[in-house]
Structure 1
Amino acid sequence: MSSCSYIARRAAQKERVRILYRRALKDTLNWAVHRHLFYKDASDLRDRFDANKHLEDLDTIDRMIDDAEATYNKFRHPDPYIVPWAPGGSKFTRNPAPPAGVEIVYDFGREDND
C-alpha cells in the first residue's frame, strides 16, 4: 500500500471515529437523568475509545469502527432531546412565514391621517 493511500485511509478512519465519539457522547446525554450521571458515563465512554487508540492495523481499525457504529445504532435513545427551534423541535416553524402575495408593512404609528 502506498504511503499516500495509507494516509488517506487513516484520515478517513480518524474522521469516522471523531464523528462516532461525538454522536455517542451526545446520545449519552440523552440517557442521563442528572449531570453527575452524565459525567460518569462520558468518562466511561472516553475510556472505551482511549483503550483502542494504540491500534495500527487498518483492517482491525475498520472492523472495530463498524462494530462500534453497529453498537451505537442498536443502543441509540428512542426519543432524543432536540433543541426546540431546530428541525424536529417543538417550536420549529411555530410562526411560519406569511404566504406569497401577503405584504406586511411595519409602519406602526406613522400612518397617513388624511
Structure 2
Amino acid sequence: MSAAVASTAAYLARRAAQKQRVRILYRRALKDTLNWAVHRHLFYRDASDLRERFDANKNVEDLDTIDKIIYEGEASYNKWRHPDPYIVPWAPGGSKFTRNPTPPEGVSLLIFIIQ
C-alpha cells in the first residue's frame, strides 16, 4: 500500500467521522428545538434558523477548520440544551411510565365482562 493510498484512506475516514458527528449534532439540536418551541409555527422558524446555521458551513473543506466548527457547535448545544426536556408520558421517565405496574407473581386477576 503506497503512502498516497494510505493518506487518501485516512482522509476519507476522518471525513466520514466528521459527517457522522455533524449528523448526530444536527439531529440532537433539532430534537432539542422541540423542547424550546411550544407551538409548531415557532418550531418551524427555529428549525429553519438551525438549518441555516448548519448550511452556512457546509462548503468548508479544511479538516482542522471543520473539527473546530464541530467542537464549537457541540459546546454551544451543550450550553443551550433544555434543562427539562419533554418526555413522552408513557416512555421511561415520563409521567405515566409504570403508573399501572404489573401485579406481582402469584396474584391472579379476575376479569369480568359486563354485558
| TM-score of Structure 1 vs Structure 2, range by shorter chain | 0.7 to 0.9
Match of 1:36 among 38, 41, 49: 41
Distance 1:107 1:94 in 2: 20
Corresponding residue number in structure 2 for 1:71: 76
Unaligned 5+ runs, structure 1: 110-114
Give the TM-score of the pair, scaled to structure 1: 0.84
Ranges of 4+ aligned residues in structure 1 off by more than 3 Å: 103-109
Corresponding residue number in structure 1 for 2:106: 102
Pick closer, same or farther for the CA change 1:5–1:97 going to 2, 3 Å. Answer: farther
Work out the percentage of aligned pairs sharing the same amino acid.
Answer: 76
Match of 1:53 among 58, 62, 71: 58
SS of the counterpart of 2:65?
Answer: helix
Corresponding residue number in structure 2 for 1:112: none
For residue 97 of structure 1, report the CA deviation from its aligned partner: 3.2
> Where is the helix percentage greater, Structure 1 or Structure 2?
2
Residue identity matched to 1:22: R
Alignment RMSD: 1.9
Q: What is the count of residue pairs matched by the alignment?
A: 108
